[in-house]
Chain A
Amino acid sequence: MARMKFLCDADRCIECNACVTACKNENEVPWGINRRRVVTINDGKPGERSVSMACMHCTDAPCMAVCPVDCFYNTADGVVLHNKDLCIGCGYCFYACPFGAPQYPKVGNFGTRGKMDKCTYCSGGPEVDLSPAEFQKYGSNRLAEGKLPLCAEMCSTKSLLAGDGEIIAQIYKERVVKRGYGSGAWGWQTAYKETIAI
């Protein structure tokens, strides 16, 4: 069974934020929420790196483990989804997530968070596939349409990979082999300090 994964080729990401914009538009994500964002390390300095981050759809998801109302579930595709009808907006998943994926609209009174919203891997939620109710709560269901998440599909530099984990890992391996030590050497400086030139 194919497991859906995201993989960001940080050597190719140019921090254009098109994935963020495309996701917001495709899923009509409310104000104040970005299901995906681009994180830049050493911004403005030589050797800066950008990486596009969203929910990584963990195999053993910490959000699922901490949810007091058990609103998360795993699909056969390996996608972590949640039920907004059950969510109480407690924020535990936000604290548990190592990627900061769960977001809250913060629309309620007295500082309440509202229902959690996160990347659905463009595969909707527990409602009937491609129904208006599903779109209104969770956004589009591209996986049911036979497509992949829009953020990855429209990435101009093909930096963001999505799809079957084994296939995209193979694609990334081929890129690394072709580029040589450009990105293949990640971690080599940690291992060999200054003795190695990249």
Chain B
Amino acid sequence: MTTHVSSAMETTMSNKPESTEKPAVDRRSFFKALGAGAAVAATPAMVTPAEAVDPGKDETRARYRETDHIKAYYRVNRY
């Protein structure tokens, strides 16, 4: 890159006609390569399936049990 810049400066300073030789990586191919790389990097994130939240066995386990307290509730509700 630096060589390319310095050669460009030389060209300007010496008022020579512009050189026709191409640099190793020109601007267009550089951005093309960059875009392809970004697309490859982004692909796995998009393919990953959405996952529903699993609250876990402990959260969904039964908490109700017929304690004496609850039995008394049922008894008094019968009349």
Q: Does A71 contact B (CB under 8 A)?
A: yes
A70-B52 in contact given A75-B63, A143-B63 (Cβ < 8 Å): yes
A77 contacts across to B, CB distance below 8 A: 62-64
Report which of B53, B62, B65, B67 forms a contact with A83, defined as CB distance below 8 A. Answer: B53
Report which of B62, B67, B69, B70 forms a contact with A76, defined as CB distance below 8 A. Answer: B62
B56 contacts across to A, CB distance below 8 A: 126
A146 close to B67 (CB less than 8 A): yes
A1-13, CB under 8 A of B: which get 1 and which 0? Answer: 1101000000000
Contacting A at CB under 8 A, from B14-63, are: 52-53, 55-56, 59-63
Residue of B nearest to A76 (CB): B62
B53 close to A71 (CB less than 8 A): yes
User: What is the interface of chain A mostly: helix, strand, loop, or mixed?
Assistant: loop
C-alpha spacing A129/B66, complex, angstroms: 18
C-alpha spacing A168/B56, complex, angstroms: 29
B77 contacts across to A, CB distance below 8 A: 158, 161, 168, 171
C-alpha spacing A71/B73, complex, angstroms: 32
C-alpha spacing A110/B28, complex, angstroms: 46
Q: Does A73 contact B (CB under 8 A)?
A: yes
How many chain A residues touch B (Cβ–Cβ < 8 Å)? 33
Q: Does A14 contact B (CB under 8 A)?
A: no
B interface residues, Cβ below 8 angstroms from A: 52-53, 55-56, 59-67, 69-70, 73-74, 76-78
- Besides A76-B62, A148-B73, A163-B64, 7 other A-B contacts (C-beta < 8 A): A75-B59, A75-B62, A76-B61, A146-B69, A146-B70, A164-B66, A171-B78
Q: Which 9 residue pairs across A and B have the least CB separation, nearest first?
A: A146-B67, A76-B62, A143-B63, A73-B55, A126-B59, A70-B52, A144-B63, A77-B64, A75-B60
